[in-house]
Structure 1
């Protein structure tokens, strides 16, 4: 009798386990529950609302989430303002979120270029003009950045900015780049995209989007021009804005920018979903557990060196010395993934440096 009871119990546990595995399989197939929703008709001038169609989080499925009054629309509301973010995952809520890069937040790469690492430490990595450097290299993800720059007379190094990203994941390749621009006009879009070698066109209209045939990659325009959010399912999300060097900036920093090129470049903020504990690259290494940042603390411009370690031969090559990229590795059961924390970061009391709160 007891043996029968054990068998019945084991059978019941087996059915529960089987159901759980089926749910995981469905989750893996359908993608990110965060964006699983359908927009609902809304009254004129009222906040937008959406009905969730979450598969894994069934308590959120069919629930209608309404945008807060502070950010009634998913559209970008202008400088300093946030947009509505509808989250049908376990949080099951609509909140206000800045959809443009926050250059003082984790994973930011902005200006010439200034980084904020996964450890919250701010540093500069100068690289070299017209060269490609590995920002992140992991088992199934590799991100290179193409640097542009200028070396004014009397300088010993280039002033540099990031002009393009080359993203490799699994067996796919994705690029986003900024066109060369002489005179800046934000009414004209300056972004170029490609997926697996094929150019992509995204309508210059706020919230216009493009999705790859397999549904893994999605581009959405946060504003009509020069601002996008790119999501690679289960891998990463990145917010991008195109910025020029203004005449005022050039005078302050002595860039000596001329009228034929305003050095339009990218301000970037990454969010990673499944990095491993062996991740490397200029930015990627700072997400490793117990990473000890070598940059000098307390100075106005802490510098991260090691250009030779991160130099790649082309934008879509994973041949830098720090490369961890193994796209053919299909068995991820032995990969040690790390928890990615989010934080709010800011300057404090006008002092140099960036301070982050988890």
Structure 2
């Protein structure tokens, strides 16, 4: 009996080690603040705590989420898929003072009419500024290494590799970047405009097996799981995700389908990651970069931690 108890305890210990914990970090909820919770079974490796309810929730199930292959949850709460095409760029949000594009990476499969795709990077245009957040290409995943690149107005953002470290833009103090984990997770926020949570994640061997991705050891297709929160969108807002925030918006996807898919590849396509030129563009700012700057130029950067983990160093 003693041996059985020890064995069960050991197995539970292994299981818990594989499940990540999340902590409430909002001081406004004193009863829950700093309390830790195991992530739910449906998202054992990535979750956050709803401090008001004091319970863990899956980030990818909330409005404004863009995760996986890629699965969107619109501002109306309706979940859908937008596959786009690999190695192309698409407009996620377009408003008069904010424009967000995404660069898709993926794999083709002879037996399928579409590509497997994931969001590798995003470009946020606001005012006269542009912000790039992207995942580096990785062969074998190592979560203790940072695979995230952040570039503001063409300059790498130096953000120490420690949870809670913060960077504020000198030319626009409203923009802050904060690490929510030692590596691979950041929050970009412009006060009164948006808050974007970005996390670099790989395609695991189990995911590849279940979905038939056929991922090899040459590339684990590191990509971004994203969560958007907007504070001041207009009724003109468009884009794959943006349109779902309009009042009275009626979803274009077939409700009840096992995989509700939104089309519009041509409608939302842009000429490059930093171009606000999709057919539904609304952006009136001056942050767009000329067509000679492509997503691959940033995606192909080779980045590593600085000495002692003090920042990001990028080389072409």
TM value normalised by structure 1 = 0.67
| Structure 2 segments unaligned to the other structure (5+ residues) | 1-22, 41-46, 287-316
Alignment of 1:335-354 (within 5 A): none
Match of 1:289 among 247, 270, 285: 247
Distance 1:282 1:78 in 2: 33
Residue of structure 2 in register with 1:248 after alignment:
206
SS in 1 for 2:244: helix
Alignment of 1:242-321 (within 5 A): 242-321=200-279
Distance 1:49 1:151 in 2: 41
Deviation for aligned residue 1:72: 2.1
Q: Which 4+ runs in 1 deviate beyond 6 A?
A: 47-50
Distance 1:66 1:286 in 2: 30
Residue of structure 1 in register with 2:134 after alignment:
177
CA contact (8 A) 1:174 1:196 kept: yes
TM value normalised by structure 2 = 0.76
CA contact (8 A) 2:25 2:33 kept: no
1:203 aligns with 2:165: no
Q: 1:95 to 1:200 in 2, by over 3 A?
A: farther
| Structure 1 segments unaligned to the other structure (5+ residues) | 1-46, 51-64, 86-93, 329-358
Residue of structure 1 in register with 2:181 after alignment:
223
Distance 1:153 1:268 in 2: 29
Q: 1:101 to 1:316 in 2, by over 3 A?
A: farther
Distance 1:148 1:204 in 2: 26
CA contact (8 A) 2:88 2:103 kept: yes
1:105 aligns with 2:75: no
Distance 1:125 1:322 in 2: 16
Distance 1:232 1:101 in 2: 24
Q: 1:83 to 1:68 in 2, by over 3 A?
A: farther
SS in 1 for 2:206: helix
Aligned residues: 257
Q: 1:118 to 1:308 in 2, by over 3 A?
A: same
